[in-house]
């Protein structure tokens, strides 16, 4: 099963997250990101932001799809400090950024100039 299969529910999910919590980043990881998803695979999503992360489960439940979403919410500072031995390394290595907030990108650019 490939990413085309989940395109519609994934786009719907990303739009709802962006509208509801204004995240910094939304990242697809796991079997769909690797391209080895099976019929029983869930959609693994990491959401990085600073507010309303407790809304993520409600958003996932509101999407009508035959797929289930496994969502992990991280505060910005928490995400950047997670151990490289944890799931963070998987997200960094194979993750596909589905959304990056323009405000967040501007901050990264300004920080890189320092």
Is a pLDDT exceeding 60 seen at residue 110?
A: no
- The span from the CA of 65 to the CA of 6, in Å, is 9
The fourth-level CATH superfamily of domain 3-100 is Beta Polymerase, domain 2 (3.30.460.10)
Instruction: Give the mean pLDDT of the chain.
Output: 79
More confident residue, 56 or 111: 56
Tens-place pLDDT, residues 16-41:
899 988 899 899 999 999 999 988 88
Of residues 37, 44, 40, 45, the one with CA closest to residue 3: 37
Concatenating the DSSP letter of every residue in 50-113 gives SS-GGGHHHHHHHS--SSPEEEEEEEHHHHHHS-TTSHHHHHHHH-EEEEE-HHHHHHHHHHHH
Tens-place pLDDT, residues 51-93:
778 888 888 777 767 778 888 888 877 776 665 556 667 787 8
């Amino acid at each position: 099963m490939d990413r085309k299969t989940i395109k519609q529910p994934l786009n719907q999910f990303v739009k709802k997250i962006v509208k509801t919590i204004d995240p910094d980043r939304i990242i697809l990881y796991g079997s769909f990101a690797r391209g080895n998803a099976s019929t029983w695979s869930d959609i693994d999503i990491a959401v990085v932001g600073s507010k309303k992360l407790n809304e993520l489960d409600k958003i996932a439940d509101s999407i009508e799809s035959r797929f289930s979403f496994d969502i992990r919410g991280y505060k910005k500072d928490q995400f950047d400090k997670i151990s490289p031995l944890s799931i963070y390394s998987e997200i960094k290595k194979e993750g596909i950024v589905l959304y990056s907030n323009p405000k967040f990108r501007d901050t990264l650019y300004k920080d890189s100039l320092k």
